[in-house]
Amino acid sequence: MKSLRLSAGWLLVLLLVAPAYSSPSPFSGKTITRIDIRDDQGAPWSHPEQILPLIMVKPGDALEGPAIREGIATLYLKSLFKDIRIEVFPEGDGVRLEYILFPITVVEQVKVQGNHSLSTGTIRDSISNIEGKELRDEKLSALKSDILALYQAEGFYDTAVTIRSEPLKEKNRVALLIEIRESTPTLLEEIAFSGNTVFKDQDLLAVMKSKKGYPLRRDLLLDTDMKAILTKYTEAGYPASKPGPVDIGFRENKAFVNILGTEGPRVTVRFTGNQEFGRDRLEQALLILSEHDVSDAAIDSSVDKIKNLYREKGYVSIAVDVDKKETPGRLDLEFSVHEGPRVIVKEITVRGNTVFTTKEIKGRMALRESGWFRSQPFREDLLNNDIENLSDFYLDRGYLSASVKKDIVMSSDKTAAAAVIEIVEGPQTMTGSVVFEDNMLFSTTELLSMIALKPGAPFNERLIEEDRYRILTAYSNKGYLYTRVTSEKIPHEGTVDIHYRITEDLPVSIGRIILRGNERTKDNVIMRELLVKPGDTYDYGAILNSQQRIYRLGYFRVARFDPVHPGEKEYIKDMLFTVEERPAGAFEVGIGYGDLDRLRGFVEVSHRNLWGTARYSSLRFEESDILKRAIFNFQEPWFLNYDL
């Protein structure tokens, strides 16, 4: 019998270019009589019911390129196949399709051998993302690099790592055998310094954790030790010192380290005129010390931070001068602080307000009046913010022409300030009619119930945009993802009408749901938990709740819905549901002591996903001086298609 055998890739090319460059395939347009699915060994696929709904063609359909291409693309989305081939056989007046699926090879387990200096647990923790994933050469290369980096961090620079796979009994499952040939550690033979004049070599060595005769640990040397050296210089008055770079040479399995560095000037800092804050508090504001920077920009920024400290306490007229003296290897800074009087808020007066009470307006301000038991510092920055917030407050309540201004009256001795808030309220603008145009899904009454800015309410322009999003959200929740809503404001004397134009478009529904990532859990166990099914309206809420239901099963660390074509406008959206399984088994041991039962203990073994069906089972043994028992527990989450 004559047949056409093509790999998925070649079939895609043929079907794409044939109309333009050659005559169509002789099988194009013929009726599909049967579809067989086999693995790469020629055996029937074990679960064809999981594959057939995804291939986009079925018996009775005409053999067409676009449908074949889409089906192949969908199968690849499951991330289970490294290749897909199709054989086309004439059968009667039609054709029989045979899909040959080449499964990916999955790393089922990892074995580590030859390690003595690093524990197996430490190595496995660094490569935990390989188990349960596809075996790929580029992953193995990264895996080897990660293990070598672990050893190098501990000083083993000549360690060798080889990785090979061993097939397991289950098809397309392998164990990775990681063989480690540990070297002797590279020891520090010499640590020298260049550029240091303030401290002798032995002084710097004393603060380092890296020592001669110890293994060379790069992270320790380049991170911890460099910070320790910087701290030592800073405490000695050299905040701008820069230890490093570090040169490392190797010879005969020994490391020779030379730490270069610049010490910078010795910095002295002096404060004068400061009464409110002590030296320690002012030093915390100096970027010279915290950022290890003695540039003019850092000094100017330090001055600004000092001023802000004082202004927060009410020192309105604070001034800070800097006297900078530079000599070779030395920088002397003197910060002269002119505090001036501390100003408190004596009172806040509100004038011109008729709509809102003075108490209500003061309650919305951050600046407060001083009381009997507490003085409030005067801060002009807070007052400026209050003026802006009060202006917005009036604007949001329909007073579109309201004006809010401030005036500050200082006492004769400059120690108290009275803030005067002058308000011109102006007329209030109300919301007139609210009209919806071209709404079919929701009635006008329903839309009015969704929005915040209703007829007769004070006009608030900010709420119009919020209401527009409320309308869009309501449509999206009904599957109308492509609805557009525009708004128009029509002003009148004392009122503003609002006109919403709605372009509903068509509803979007869920197409196919393609599961990916479930190695042990059966498809139907996941599908029965989902609140959305093929053909349902595209409902964001149901999609999010479906993800949460899968998470609550307890044996998935990832559960995520994504559209197959997220950037395309489609009215039937195929969805990709990706999960990542976590171990479902657990082993617990406990021991305790009580007055009655004295020494007691238990051992429990449990599994939350038996045979990939979400069934739970546990076996627990308990024993004490007065009790000995075994407890077996089995839970069936679903019975006769009902969630228990």
pLDDT bracket for residue 8 (50, 70, 90): very low
Q: Looking at 163-172, 184-193, 392-401, 583-592, which range is the least confident one?
A: 583-592
Residue 12 pLDDT > 70: no
Give the position of tokens 């549901």: 577
Q: How many H helices and E strands in the chain?
A: 17, 28
Give the tens place of pLDDT for each residue, 310-367: 999 999 999 999 999 999 999 999 999 999 999 999 999 999 999 999 999 999 999 9
Mean pLDDT within 89-116: 91
Q: Please tell me the predicted confidence (pLDDT) of residue 13.
A: 36
- Considering 18-22, 42-46, 560-564, the range whose residues carry the highest mean pLDDT is 560-564
Give the Cα-Cα-Cα angle 51, 57, 59 (nearest 5 degrees): 100
Mean pLDDT within 133-137: 84
Q: Please tell me the predicted confidence (pLDDT) of residue 17.
A: 35
Q: Residue 243: which of 186, 292, 170 has the closest Cα?
A: 292
pLDDT bracket for residue 14 (50, 70, 90): very low
Q: Please tell me the predicted confidence (pLDDT) of residue 643.
A: 66
Average pLDDT, the chain: 89
Q: Please tell me the predicted confidence (pLDDT) of residue 641.
A: 63
Mean pLDDT within 127-141: 82
- The pLDDT > 70 percentage for the chain reads 95
556-563: strand order across its sheet:
509-516, 572-581, 556-563
- The answer to whether the beta carbons of residues 299 and 321 sit under 8 Å apart is no
Q: Please tell me the predicted confidence (pLDDT) of residue 440.
A: 95
Contacts of 494 (CB under 8 A, 6+ apart): 427, 428, 429, 430
pLDDT bracket for residue 15 (50, 70, 90): very low
Residue 18 pLDDT > 80: no
Mean pLDDT within 85-108: 90
Q: Residue 51: which of 28, 75, 73, 24 has the closest Cα?
A: 75
Mean pLDDT within 481-490: 96
Q: Please tell me the predicted confidence (pLDDT) of residue 138.
A: 82
Give the tens place of pLDDT for each residue, 492-508: 999 999 999 999 999 99
Give the tens place of pLDDT for each residue, 266-281: 999 999 999 999 999 9
Give the tens place of pLDDT for each residue, 523-543: 888 999 999 999 999 998 899
Q: Please tell me the predicted confidence (pLDDT) of residue 284.
A: 93
Mean pLDDT within 135-158: 88
For 125, the 3-state DSSP assignment is helix
Residue 581 pLDDT > 90: no
Q: Please tell me the predicted confidence (pLDDT) of residue 642.
A: 61
CA dihedral 436, 437, 443, 444 (to 10 degrees): 20
Give the tens place of pLDDT for each residue, 402-419: 999 999 999 999 999 999
Q: Residue 253: which of 182, 357, 334 has the closest Cα?
A: 182
The 8-class DSSP code of residue 504 comes to -
